[in-house]
Chains A and B, each alone.
Chain A
Amino acid sequence: MSSRTPVVIAPTAFRQQLLGTIPRLRRYARSLVFESAAADDLVQTALERALAHWHQFDQRRDILVWVLSIAHNAYMDDRRRHAHTTSVEPLDLQDGPDALAAHAPDPGLRMDLMAALAKLSVEQREPLLLVTLEQLSYAECAEVLRIPIGTVMSRVSRGRAALRALLDGHAPAPSGTRGLRRVV
């Protein structure tokens, strides 16, 4: 392809690959922004960016990791843009159109889990979700978030401990500090 970057639209083969990432992209978006319409907006932004930059995708790589990385960037941009507006607390959405609520075996317990997840700092929440929910390796997670593997390791560990502390009814130590409350 020429170095003069002409506006070449994404080929059908690429679109097919992209289409295949949507279900997992939606799940990840939902775990970041909770509310399903807002999550799909994030997915849409990620898809549009992926299409606009399709020529940057290296076919030897996993397209899901690439697209999750785009979604992460879009989410961070969004947070920066709305840094001064208040965000919706998942607890306020209890009666809202949460499509996932239909599967609640125990609404109280589950809301606790989602509320606790929402309370984690985004620096801890994202690695924890990518590793536990999306089942990425630490290396893939590092690639998505563009942070070193050692950082992934410590953030996952601290995210886990913080989530557990919240579920136990304790406030976790402020993020960024080292030792979390030791459960003895």
Chain B
Amino acid sequence: MNATTFQELPLDERLSAWLDDELAPDQRAEVDTWLRDHAEDAARVRLWAADRDALRARLEPAAGESVPTRLEQVVWSHAPDTATAGWMRWAAAAAIFVLGGALGAGATWRLLEETRVPVAGARWEQRAIAAHAVYVPEVRHPVEVSVHGATPQESRAQEEHLVRWLTRRIDRPVKLFDLRSHGYELVGGRLLPDTQGAWAQLMYQKSGETSPQRVTVYLRKPDSATPAAFRYERHGELGMFYWVEGSTGYALVGAMPRDELMALAESIYRQIPN
């Protein structure tokens, strides 16, 4: 988008592109200023954001469902069990998921079984990473229920509301962990949809920085396959600790070194009521 024509675009298009984070920094700053001065437009954009969140909440579970065998079979139909030299060269060159050359159909099926879980993205810990990536960059709507109140009393009431709401919806006790000794303040929480039932996301941020460092904590009913032991995984810049305690699965996700994340995870672990 070039800057001279930007102002000529209809206002709604500029606001909409702002919401989708499609603007160059100067255009973005321009819209920021506009929204500060025009409360009605800001309210309209908030409604659009709420509609977007509602659409996601309504339709997201469809991606978490297990894939019907019928569709997997479509992908494996006429599988290369009669391998030609041509495709084998292609496979070797592609070097993306090169899974070995001349697999027979039987071997292909076994392979499918093994790779099924990561392919479908079914593990809840993995989805915690995805949810972190979606909501942490949100400037205006990082959480559904904020614990920020005008007065300490109001904040406390919001916290109580958040605990009651999440506890009821995920059907297990939710505790708002106190991470202030590490410099992290609770921002609030949101409910995430899933085929296995809802789960809770709590967001914390380190204040006093221009772009605040945020971490997210997840609570939900664990998959039967989730090991109870403390586990650590790294996905690009994001690190994640996850474990099961009692009837609840916990995960902590943040873009920070392992040691720092570990300190937060331990703090949370110590605060889990027995």
Contact = CB atoms under 8 A, between A and B. Distances in A.
Interface of A: 1, 6, 8-20, 22-24, 26-27, 30-31, 36, 40, 43-44, 47-48, 51, 59, 99-100, 103, 105, 110, 113-114, 117, 129, 131-133, 135, 137-138, 153-154, 156-158, 160-161, 163-164, 167, 178-180, 183-184
Given A16-B99, A154-B10, A9 B87 contact: yes
B259 interface: no
A129 B51 CA distance: 11
B150 interface: no
A182 to B, nearest CB: 9
Contact of B56 (A114, A132, A138, A161): A132
A138 B17 contact: yes
Given A27-B62, A40-B70, A132 B86 contact: no
Which 7 A-B residue pairings sit nearest by Cβ, starting from the closest? A157-B16, A27-B63, A27-B62, A11-B91, A11-B87, A132-B52, A23-B63
A149 to B, nearest CB: 8
Contacts, number: 162
A157 B191 CA distance: 27
B48 interface: yes
A135 B134 contact: yes
Contact of B22 (A36, A48, A137): A137
Measured as residues with beta carbon below 8 angstroms from the partner, the interface class of chain B is 35 or more
Interface string B70-87: 111011111110001011
B220 to A, nearest CB: 14
B12 A16 contact: no
B29 interface: no
A133 B90 CA distance: 34
B85 to A, nearest CB: 10
Contacts of A19: 67, 72, 75, 112, 115, 119
A61 B164 CA distance: 46
11 contacts: A10-B87, A23-B121, A26-B63, A26-B65, A27-B60, A40-B71, A51-B77, A103-B198, A105-B169, A132-B52, A156-B16
Given A12-B99, A15-B75, A114 B58 contact: yes
A74 to B, nearest CB: 13
A23 B87 contact: no
A51 B64 contact: no
B16 A132 contact: no
B108 A12 contact: yes
B165 to A, nearest CB: 11
Interface of B: 9-10, 12-13, 15-17, 20, 22, 40, 44, 47-48, 51-52, 54-56, 58-65, 67-68, 70-72, 74-80, 84, 86-88, 90-91, 94, 96-99, 103, 108, 111-112, 115, 119-121, 134, 169, 193, 195, 198
Contacts of A114: 58
Contacts of B40: 183-184
A31 B59 contact: yes
Given A23-B121, A133-B56, A138-B22, A13 B91 contact: yes
